[in-house]
Structure 1
Amino acid sequence: METRAWRLRLLPLLLLFCGGCARVCCCNETGMLERLPRCGKAFATMMRKVDVWKWCNLSEFMVYYERFTNCTEVETIIVGCYWPNPLAQSFITGIHRQFFSNCTRNRGHWEDPPDEVLIPLIAVPVLLTVVMAGLVVWRSRRTDRLL
Structure 2
Amino acid sequence: MEARARPPHLLPLLLLLCGECARVCGCNETRMLERLPVCGKAFADMMHKVDVWKWCNLSEFIVYYESFTNCTEVETNIVGCYWPNPLAQGFITGIHRQFFANCTVDRPHWEDPPDEVLIPLIAVPVLLTVAMAGLVVWRSKRTDQLL
TM-score, normalisation: structure 2 = 0.77
> What amino acid sits opposite 1:117 in the alignment?
V
- 5 Å-filtered alignment, 1:60-79, equals 60-79=60-79
Alpha-carbon distance in structure 1 between the residues aligned to 2:38 and 2:142: 82
Deviation at 1:144, TM superposition (A): 6.2
In structure 2, the CA distance between the partners of 1:135 and 1:47, relative to structure 1 (3 Å rule), is same
Alpha-carbon distance in structure 2 between the residues aligned to 1:144 and 1:66: 74
- 5 Å-filtered alignment, 1:1-147, equals 14=17, 17-18=18-19, 22-23=22-23, 26-143=26-143
Gaps of 5+ in 1: 1-12
Alpha-carbon distance in structure 2 between the residues aligned to 1:102 and 1:28: 34
In structure 2, the CA distance between the partners of 1:25 and 1:109, relative to structure 1 (3 Å rule), is farther
For the aligned residue pairs, the C-alpha RMSD in angstroms reads 2.5
Q: Identity over aligned residues, as a percent?
A: 85
Deviation at 1:73, TM superposition (A): 0.4
Aligned partners of 1:27 and 1:80 also within 8 Å: yes
TM-score, normalisation: structure 1 = 0.77
Deviation at 1:140, TM superposition (A): 3.6
Deviation at 1:121, TM superposition (A): 1.1
In structure 2, the CA distance between the partners of 1:131 and 1:37, relative to structure 1 (3 Å rule), is same
- Any idea what the Cα deviations from partners look like across 1:34-87, whole Å, max 9, x if unmatched? 011110000000000000000010000000000000000000010111110111
In structure 2, the CA distance between the partners of 1:24 and 1:63, relative to structure 1 (3 Å rule), is farther
Gaps of 5+ in 2: 1-15
Count of aligned positions: 131
SS of the residue aligned with 2:118?
Answer: helix
Aligned partners of 1:23 and 1:81 also within 8 Å: no
